[in-house]
Structure 1
Amino acid sequence: MYNILIADDERWMCEGLKKVIEKCAVDFIVTAMARDGLEVLQLLEKEDFDLLITDVRMPEMDGITLLKEMRNRQISIPVIFMSGHDEFQYARAALRYGAIDYVLKPIDKEEIRQILLKIKSQLDAENNGLELTTTTDALALSPEELHQGTQLVQKLKAVVESSYMEELSISRLSEKAGFNSSYLSRIFKLETGKGFVQYLTEVRMTEAKRLLQDPRELTVGMIAKKVGYWDEKHFSKMFKKEVGVSPSEYRKDKLPTR
């Protein structure tokens, strides 16, 4: 069983996350909770923890300052950051200083479970004397790498906006760019606030809505292919999920009656 330290100035958040972790049942247990970075450092001096999950914004000492101080003190346990949707700059800084991952509030149980499973595999391997390339230090990004990643994301967005009708995937694009797909996915989400697939879907649906309002009245099947979907049924399902109505209903509502 691996020990987790949770840090958040809101006690209810700590208690809620503790319950989520208990329900995940992935060999982790919350053994301590702290209100800010200073309290975290005090606990780290007294007890052994295998993982720290901390909020970004806290009084006395925030999460970023805490992580920097941990690195100065050669404390290298994995760190996960929690942040709000409007705190991506903080999350980027967290990754630069070696955070292993970050999650958005409100906390999603399945997301936490998947992250804990990944960290458990890493800890299991380390305890068995195996070397992993996905250590905390390996995941730390320099300012130059972050800048390079930011530029790369802008290029990716341009590719999506010009080639959304083609078969696109983050793995294929990262291979062409010479980047690790996990790294690129992480940077893309930090820069845009959404995953690559969601971004691609939104671009496709925006174009689909434009075509559905075209007076030439292209068939739904033709529009599906023009925006990158070869299966009309799948396109219609995705359209309704994203827009709230079917393509036909959208067209009927938008086109003027004759």
Structure 2
Amino acid sequence: MASIKIDLSSPEPYVAPAEIYSGSNLNVNGNPNPDTLPVPLPLLISLRIATGGAGQSGLIRALANTFIEHQMQKTACGRFSIAWLLSDTSASFSYLASRAADCSITYHEVAEEMAVRQGIAERRENVWRDHWLLVGPKENPASLPLDGTDDLITIYELFSQLFMACVENPTIRFLSRYDKSAANIKESSIWTAIGQTPWAHPYSSWYHRYVEFPFAALRAACALGEYTITDKGTWLSIDEGIREKMCVFKSSTDAADDPLLNPAHILVGKRGGGCIDGE
């Protein structure tokens, strides 16, 4: 849910886009296929999408460019632009409430439903299913079983084993994004499910609070040899060298009750309804 109240009388704040898209066939400065515009062209930004990892992985870029080309062919409309606003799940709700964004892609069912009831969003739709992963260094100092070697072991058992290893050996650490992101909320829910709150007093030194977006957080976990929770989209999009130095210890299935399943929903704000209605 948003940390601010919606106020339709207040001016819309401007948030600088991380990227602006105008279709995959746009020729800019001699480049026949620039998926991302390095500088904004004088094209109308018709849609502002707030989200995090899906933008960093390039998924929003691919979808936006395809959507623009589709609309131009279907409706014979002029070329337009779509902007991606870099945010996390919690910030996305606030961007929607302030009308800095027209829609947001988030990963928290209860908060999404609250946003609709609060009037921040007009509707909520399924868009895709991502998957959370527990990853860590190949050296695996906590001796966790690799993903697929024991399908009966749960993520809660793995976190319990990791907790004991961290307590016994202070050089073993867990990296938390600690930023109210979907990843932070997910790992926090797993820690509390096993009766632990390593961020609370007395603070656990092995709980590394690293406030960054998904790619930077995963790179930091790799460089520091720490365990962390990341999403599959980020894992598959990160530099291959990062994946070569790390292992997956648990990945989500597609089962609806899998605690690591990461369904994404799009929330359409008051201003965004006309932009994507029916699409």
TM-score range, shorter chain: under 0.3
Between structure 1 and structure 2, the one with the greater Rg is 1
- Higher helix fraction: Structure 1 or Structure 2? 1
**Larger RCO (CA within 8 A; separation ≥ 6):** 2
- Higher strand fraction: Structure 1 or Structure 2? 2
